[in-house]
Amino acid sequence: MVVFQKPNGLTDAQLHYCPGCTHGIIHRLVAEAIDELGVTGRTIGVAPVGCSVFAYNYFNCDMVQAAHGRAPAVATGVKRSDPNNIVFTYQGDGDLAAIGTAETVHSAARSENITVIFVNNAIYGMTGGQMAPTTLPGQVTQTSPYGRDTSHVGFPVKVCEMLSQVDGATYLERVAVNNVKNIKAAKAAIKKAFQYQIEGKGFSMVEVLSTCPTNWGLTPEKALTWLEENMLPYYPLGVYKDKYKEEK
């Protein structure tokens, strides 16, 4: 009996992520969500620039690789080409919240009927650990070697909070993948985001707090603790917007 196997939504390609990186978990959650919703065959994903650039090799659906920050614009084209497509972007913090801020905000403002998976690990991973738009105050990175000095480089961008002010945004939730309970909640949020798209409800984004043990310079286990102690207080989990929240 097979107890645990890859979801159909993932290919057999071996993931290139560093040991302990939580991208793998998030990939799996996305794949499970589209599988369970029965839409993998009509899903088209948009890969970003950053650590998850190779996402096009991992998801078992049609994929297009976008320029840095432009995934929501590319996704807009894919979706508008055929609204029956289920379209998602998978983006990191540099991609989504720095170079691609305009594309992010305006795809939300248009309420593009797409799903954005936003992986926030507070650092640029692919390029070797530079300061990200979401790097915490005081956090040491390659380009903030004395810790992020907010008087000099300003403050982290809280994307869920920011987009919650955008009328076009339909569903925004921040989740984390640092423990089993949170992973289950993340899965539910991702599935709900896709469900909303299937129902034509408009722009949805799930921000997933994630770890980067390599560039944080921590063991995988300690990285999870660091996330919990440092990121969770700054980036509180929860639903930031849900236009279709059921009345209780």
Partner 1 sequence: MSEKVLMKGNEAMAEAAIMAGCKHYFGYPITPQTEAAAYMAKRMPKLDGGVFLQAESEIAAINMVIGVASTGKRVMTSSSSPGIALKSEGLSYLAGCDLPALVINVQRGGPGLGSIQPSQSDYFHATRGAGHGDFHMIILAPASVQEMVDLTFKGFDLGDKYRMTTMILADGTMGQMMEPVSLDMGEVKEYDKSWALTGTKGERKPNIVNSLFMLPADLEKYNFERYEKYKLIEENEVMYDEYMMDDAEICIVAFGVAARVSQNAIDEARKQGIKVGMIRPITLWPFPKKVLNSAADKVKAFVSVELNMGQMIEDVELATRCKKPVLLCNRAGGVIPTTEDVMSKIIEANEIGGAN
Of 70 and 158, which has the nearer Cβ to partner 1? 70
Q: How far is the CB of 106 from partner 1 (least distance, A)?
A: 4
Of 105 and 122, which has the nearer Cβ to partner 1? 105
Q: How far is the CB of 88 from partner 1 (least distance, A)?
A: 13
Which residues in 98-109 are b (16+ Cβ under 10 Å) and which e?
bebbebbbebbe
Which residues in 228-247 are b (16+ Cβ under 10 Å) and which e?
beebeeebebeebbbbeeee
Q: How far is the CB of 87 from partner 1 (least distance, A)?
A: 8
Of 79 and 174, which has the nearer Cβ to partner 1? 79
Q: How far apart are CA 75 and CA 86, in angstroms?
A: 10
Asked whether the beta carbons of 170 and 202 are under 8 A apart, the reply is: yes
Q: How far is the CB of 144 from partner 1 (least distance, A)?
A: 27
Binding site for partner 1 (CB under 8 A): 11, 40-44, 46-47, 53-54, 56-57, 59-67, 70, 73-82, 85, 102-103, 105-106, 110
Q: How far is the CB of 167 from partner 1 (least distance, A)?
A: 15
Of 59 and 171, which has the nearer Cβ to partner 1? 59
Of 63 and 119, which has the nearer Cβ to partner 1? 63
Specify the 3-state DSSP secondary structure of 182.
Answer: helix
What are the residues whose beta carbons fall under 8 Å from the beta carbon of 32, sequence distance 6 or more? 7, 9, 187, 191
CA 76 to chain centre: 17
